[in-house]
Amino acid sequence: MEQVADEPVVAAAVDWSAVAGAVPGAASFGAVSAACPAGLSPAQLPDLIVATDRLISHLQAVQVAAVAEFSLPGRSGSMQ
């Protein structure tokens, strides 16, 4: 069955309060990526917002760690 782009696919299938409270990772990224905000209830929307914010913060922390590692002497190596 082909999925229609505007069709809400995860509104009923996802426990958004659990996703919002979970450690950011592949499962929460998958749920957030597939979410259709227009298909969520008013109670689910804040949980989606919290989940996206936690994922963004997690990814920024990983990025900062990578930049810090890259800045260490000898870690950047030859870029050619």
In a domain, 62, yes or no: yes
In a domain, 40, yes or no: yes
How many domains does the chain contain in total?
Answer: 1
Tokens 């950047």 sit at which residue? Answer: 76
Residue-range definition of the domain harbouring residue 35: 16-71
Instruction: Note down pLDDT in tens along the chain; length 80 residues.
Output: 444 445 544 455 899 999 999 999 999 999 999 999 999 999 999 999 999 999 999 999 999 999 999 999 988 877 66
pTM: 0.75
In a domain, 60, yes or no: yes
State the pLDDT at residue 79: 66
State the pLDDT at residue 28: 95
**Token reading at 68:** 């810090």
CB atoms closer than 10 angstroms to residue 12: 10
CB atoms closer than 10 angstroms to residue 55: 18
In a domain, 56, yes or no: yes
